Amino acid sequence: MMYYTHLAFAFLAGLFTYTFSPPLAPIPYFALVLLGALLPDIDHRESIISKWMYPLAWLITFFFRHRGIIHSLFFITALFWTISSLFGVVYAIPLCLGFLSHVLIDSLTVHGINYLYPLTTLKISGFIETGKAGEFMLFLVLLALIAMKIFFW
**135 contributes a contact to Zn ion by CB under 5 A:** no
How many residues lie near Zn ion (CB under 5 A)? 3
The stretch among 37-45, 77-85, 122-130, 138-146 that binds Zn ion (CB under 5 A) is 37-45
Distance of CA 5 to the CA centre of its chain: 10
Can you tell me which of 12, 37, 41, 115 binds Zn ion, judged by CB under 5 A?
41
The stretch among 24-32, 34-42, 77-85, 86-94 that binds Zn ion (CB under 5 A) is 34-42
Q: Is the peptide bond before 118 cis (omega within 30 degrees of 0)?
A: yes
Cβ of residue 19: shortest distance to Zn ion, in angstroms? Answer: 28
Cβ of residue 139: shortest distance to Zn ion, in angstroms? Answer: 15
Cα torsion angle, 64, 134, 138, 124, sign:
negative
User: Cβ closer to Zn ion: 30 or 107?
Assistant: 107
The stretch among 38-46, 82-90, 114-122, 124-132 that binds Zn ion (CB under 5 A) is 38-46
Question: In what helix (H) or strand (E) does residue 123 lie, and over which residues does it extend?
Answer: strand 123-124
The percent helix, strand, coil of the chain (3-state, each to 5) is: 70, 5, 25
User: Cβ closer to Zn ion: 70 or 92?
Assistant: 70
User: Cβ closer to Zn ion: 90 or 110?
Assistant: 110
Give per-residue burial for 58-89: e unless 16+ CB within 10 Å, then b: eebbeebebbebbbbeebbeebbeebbeeeee
Can you tell me which of 14, 98, 106, 135 binds Zn ion, judged by CB under 5 A?
106
Cα torsion angle, 138, 96, 118, 54, sign:
positive
Q: Helix, strand, or coil here: 22?
A: coil
Binding site for Zn ion (CB under 5 A): 40-41, 106
